[in-house]
């Protein structure tokens, strides 16, 4: 099995819309090791990051970080070991665990996700 350390997502500006930041690829187990969030404005913002399991509807019960407050111009590095899997033959919401993110304001918060993929 190949083990690859990589940037899984970003850096990208997140919006107020619930947006998929990462979908676990086919035949892959992923370990999210770090979530980095940067507020690029001088005004406080909030960020939510969710782990949506494969095959279920997104809900606030999937929140890893819920309305996490970022002060103006603040950067936070959230260290973790979150396992995501793919249990099918396609990389989509039915077969893959996904990371979903959104913020309290558009074009204010950058998100970068770093981890390990094993396939």
Can you give the CATH number for the domain in which 74 is found? 2.60.120
Residue of 54, 62, 48 whose CA lies nearest to 98:
54
- Tokens in use for 39? 């507020």
Q: How confident is the model at residue 89 (pLDDT cuts 50, 70, 90)?
A: confident
**What is the structure's pLDDT at 87?**
85
| pTM higher than 0.85 | yes
Q: By CB neighbour count within 10 A (0-12 exposed, 13-18 middle, 19+ buried), where does 82 fall?
A: middle
Owning domain of residue 101:
3-118
Tally of domains within the chain: 1
Q: In what order do the strands lie in the sheet with 109-118?
A: 3-14, 109-118, 29-39, 75-85
pLDDT digits (tens, 9 = 90+) for 25-80: 999 999 999 999 999 999 999 999 999 999 999 999 999 999 999 999 999 999 99
Residue of 100, 76, 80 whose CA lies nearest to 24:
100
Residue of 82, 79, 84, 103 whose CA lies nearest to 95:
84
């Amino acid at each position: 099995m190949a083990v690859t350390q990589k940037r899984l997502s970003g850096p990208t500006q997140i919006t107020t819309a619930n947006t998929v930041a990462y979908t676990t690829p086919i035949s892959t187990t992923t370990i999210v090791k770090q979530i980095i969030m940067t507020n690029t404005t001088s005004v406080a913002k909030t960020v939510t990051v969710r782990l949506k399991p494969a095959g279920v509807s997104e809900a606030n019960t999937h929140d890893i970080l819920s309305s996490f407050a970022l002060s103006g111009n603040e950067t936070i590095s959230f260290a973790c070991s979150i396992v995501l899997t793919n249990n099918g033959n396609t990389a989509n919401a039915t077969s893959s665990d996904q990371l979903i993110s959104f913020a309290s304001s558009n074009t204010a918060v950058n998100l970068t996700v770093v981890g390990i993929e094993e396939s």
